[in-house]
Amino acid sequence: MAADSGVALIPLLEASSIEVLRRFVTSGLGVTFLPKFSVVTELERGEVKCVPLTDSLLVQASAHLIVRAQRRLPTSVDRLVGFLSQEMTAFRKAT
């Protein structure tokens, strides 16, 4: 998407850990793309600023839990799915 817009992005850090990305930003080393719910505490403390994305492809992004068809979920996974869908605003269906 950046290239389509004529922008060249050169990442300073690539990580699969939200904690590492949060520390990268709160240390003043750069910016990152994270869901808002993952930085609620830092937002409340004024340690970070949230800039909503406006690109239509990014705004329409969604998360999915994928499991094998016809597979009965273990109780722990079923409870996790229930928690995510009920408690985490990022995983609620849009109304």
pLDDT at 49 (0 to 100): 93
Do 30 and 12 contact (CB within 8 A), yes or no? yes
Pair of tokens at residue 59: 């705004």
Helix, strand counts (H, E) of the chain: 4, 0
The pTM score is: 0.61
Q: For 62, list phi and psi in degrees, rounded to 5.
A: -145, 165
Q: Which residues of the chain, if any, have pLDDT below 50?
A: 95
pLDDT at 48 (0 to 100): 94
pLDDT at 92 (0 to 100): 58
Percent above pLDDT 70 for the chain: 89
